[in-house]
A = this chain, B = another copy of it.
Amino acid sequence: MSLESDVIAMLARARAAGRKLALAHAEQKNAALLALAKIIRASRSAILEANARDLDRARSHGRAGAFLERLTLNESRIEAMARSAEEVAALRDPVGEEIEARRRPNGLAIRKIRVPLGLIAIVYESRPNVTVDAAALCLKSGNAVALRGGSEARSANSLLARSIAKALVEAGLDAECATFVENPDREVIQILKQHPELIDLVIPRGGKALKDALEGSAVPLLPHFDGLCHTYVDRAADLKMAEEICFNAKCSRPSVCNAMETMLVHAAVAERFLPAIATRLKKAGVEIRGDERTRRVLRDARPANEADWDTEYLDLILSIKVVDSVDEAIAFVEHHGSHLADAIITQDSSAAQRFEREVDSATVYVNASTRFTDGFEFGFGAETGISTNRLHARGPMGLSELTTYKYVVHGNGQVRG
């Protein structure tokens, strides 16, 4: 059999299993999730050994630094995977939820009911914990899932996939509900993206290479791509608050999509605000790149060039620009931002209102850190990614974003006139 017919057959089995999973009761899905937590805890040492093989292979391919860090499992990360499965079990089952109900004048009772999407393909890189997290979330929301992890984590992923299959079977569900695509060939992604009749949604979690590989996908994507986030310190900002928020937005975890990349500062407060925040940022190792007016205040800042305003550093680098008005700040964010998360710091409610209305981003903050753009922080009890799409789901996603709906209409003989 060719790779393509192999993958298609696998997807067809997953899809068929998903139709049964869609109708499973919450108790059965939860039993599988709790069994999975147990199996993961019981196979800690085997998981660590598999991960050691992955790490050896990665080192022999010359990988280092952040890459190895993301790939590494340890006792606490394994425990976190088990706990994550338990936490998903504790979440409310979104399937069957009545979203809306209406009765029409002709007596028809129309209910809008949440149902699973079907088969979701998740394409991800390096972090093996995604295998467990993504499978748990899809399972709970009644969706079959096809997991396509990166080749670098294949030993741990493969073991975790077997654990998931075992847990499903223990709970009386089909192992095929969660299908792991073992083949690390990039060609697999080209196959996945061509089969909308089998896959309802692809969720890509990765960088530019993955984005490029999925271009032209016939299957709808719920991408989780760029985060070029701004914080605008208004002339009416509480500058101490602005300092805490900007420092947090840049430094608490610079490698993630909701970290601040560009800070805009109103000219009226630049001279007071910039030296204080710069001292603190530099102490934390942040390189500052400023426009000309910033550099009049921060004389040792590197000059920012045009490319800086469009760069997602994901690193300890911050570009700073001085602006003359909230209008200029909004126009700048709209032009250069990725529309994921942007903040204004101000005590002026009319400036806040303009910013929150006119900045067209998935999450817009007034007096808080952009770092809160996250499913857990939003209280969704789960993190299924942060959509950079405008359709279907935007911003932090919870379980319900993995569902669609159907209308169930009850009548007693109504016909249309």
Contact = CB atoms under 8 A, between A and B. Distances in A.
Interface of A: 19, 22-23, 102, 104, 108, 110, 115, 117-118, 200-201, 215-216, 218, 220, 238, 241, 244-245, 247-249, 252, 334, 352, 356-358, 360-369, 371-372, 377-379, 389-392, 394-396, 404-417
A101 to B, nearest CB: 11
A369 to B, nearest CB: 5
B238 A413 contact: yes
Contacts of A104: 377-379
Contacts of A244: 413, 415
> Max chain B CB contacts within 10 Å: which of A19, A22, A363, A406?
A406
B220 A391 contact: yes
A406 B366 contact: no
B407 A364 contact: yes
Nearest to A352: B410
Given A361-B406, A364-B409, A372 B416 contact: yes
Contact of A368 (B22, B218, B414): B414
B413 A366 contact: no
A26 to B, nearest CB: 14
B391 A245 contact: no
Given A390-B404, A391-B117, A102 B379 contact: yes
Contacts of A248: 415-416
Given A368-B414, A371-B416, 4 more contacts: A102-B378, A102-B379, A115-B360, A367-B413
Contacts of A366: 408-411
Q: 4 closest pairs, A vs B, by CB?
A: A368-B411, A248-B415, A371-B416, A392-B392
12 contacts: A22-B360, A108-B368, A108-B372, A216-B218, A241-B412, A252-B417, A364-B406, A364-B408, A369-B415, A369-B416, A394-B404, A396-B407
Contacts of A404: 390-391, 394
A364 B115 CA distance: 13
A206 B406 CA distance: 23
Nearest to A345: B413
Contact of A406 (B238, B369, B395): B395
B414 A372 contact: yes
A404 B388 CA distance: 12
A233 to B, nearest CB: 13
A371 B415 contact: yes
A252 B415 CA distance: 9
